[in-house]
Structure 1
Amino acid sequence: MTQNPAAVVDEETFSVRRTIRIEAPVERVWSAVTEPEHISRWFGQTVLAGQGAGATGTMTFPDYGAIPLRVEEYDEPHRITYCWGNDDAQDARPDVLDPATSTVFTFTLEAVDGGTQLTVVESGFERTSDPRANLASHGEGWTLELDKLVALLEGDA
């Protein structure tokens, strides 16, 4: 499996960034980060109503429950942006995406020799109930989850 650097937390911009390399074509990586049946194999159990910008749904994690999800930007096969309500402040209405407490993450894909470079940037942590703790948690989360994606797409899972 390709070894990639861990996610980087930026406390000044309240963002998390991770760039990885995957030995798989862009089209395959695109499917893995946009199609619910593929996302569910490496990230969280995902359900989306519709495809493209404006699609809404949920992502469910064990021991956490379902969180609301919406596709904000869709530029196949280069860039997709999701908004999700994964902050504890959402607990009162877990089925409603509240932009005031939500974060946004974007996957950007670029073809490189022998595969794909995938960058994820998640921002908006300053709007969450505990910005620094959420930054740290998501920094660890993106490292773990994207390692699962690499293993899946490179055949090690």
Structure 2
Amino acid sequence: MVSMTENPASIVDEDAFTVRRSIRINAPVEKVWRAITQPEYISRWFGRTVLDGVGVGAAGTMTFPDYGSIPLRVEEWDEPRVVAYRWNNDDALGKLPDRVQEKGSTVFTFTLDEIDGGTQLTVVEAGFENTSDPRVNLESHRTGWDEELDKMVALVEKDAVEADE
């Protein structure tokens, strides 16, 4: 049994209103790219994801069991290096609207770099100053990125090992 790569936790920058996490994944960039861009793969480690296409402007939802559906839109696409998503995530707005709105939304950007033995993935989520309670949302998303990306690393590394067998 191969153990999952240990990675540092997410970091909050309260002055810049961002959450950042850089992790190492023992899998090639192409596998990590699929894990962060293909809805059927994202759904295996994050929220159940549905998108109406590929690339900038593709829109849809990400659904979480205890939270409901969150509108999602692709903001940037530079395969296989950078993808950015905007999503609504401000609980204080009450019922979330059915499409992405600038107020109360943040953008999370994944950047992939090839490194010896795998991929360096950095996620930066920005825009918390646009939410009703930036400090609470920053902390909530900091812990969320720790949990979700750890699940993704375990899944991608397991798939990479199985593909080599």
Which category of TM-score, normalised to the shorter sequence, fits these structures?
Answer: over 0.9
1:127-152 per-position Cα deviation (integer Å, ceiling 9, x unaligned): 11110000000000000100001100
Q: Distance in 2 between matches of 1:93 and 1:10?
A: 26
C-alpha displacement of 1:92: 3.8
Q: Distance in 2 between matches of 1:90 and 1:77?
A: 34
1:32-81 per-position Cα deviation (integer Å, ceiling 9, x unaligned): 00000000000000000010000000000111000000000000000000
Aligned partner of 1:102 among 78, 81, 105 = 105
RMSD (Å), alpha carbons? 1.1
**Maintained 8 Å contact 1:9/1:139:** yes
Aligned partner of 2:27 among 24, 31, 46 = 24
Q: Distance in 2 between matches of 1:102 and 1:5?
A: 26
Larger radius of gyration: 2
Is 1:35 the counterpart of 2:35? The answer is: no
Is 1:146 the counterpart of 2:146? The answer is: no
Is 1:72 the counterpart of 2:72? The answer is: no
Q: Distance in 2 between matches of 1:125 and 1:69?
A: 16
Stretches of 4+ aligned residues off by more than 2 angstroms: 89-94
C-alpha displacement of 1:96: 2.1
Gaps of 5+ in 1: none
Alignment coverage as a number of residue pairs: 156
Percent sequence identity over matched residues? 68
Q: Distance in 1 between matches of 2:77 and 2:21?
A: 20
C-alpha displacement of 1:93: 4.5
Per the normalisation by structure 2, the TM-score is 0.92
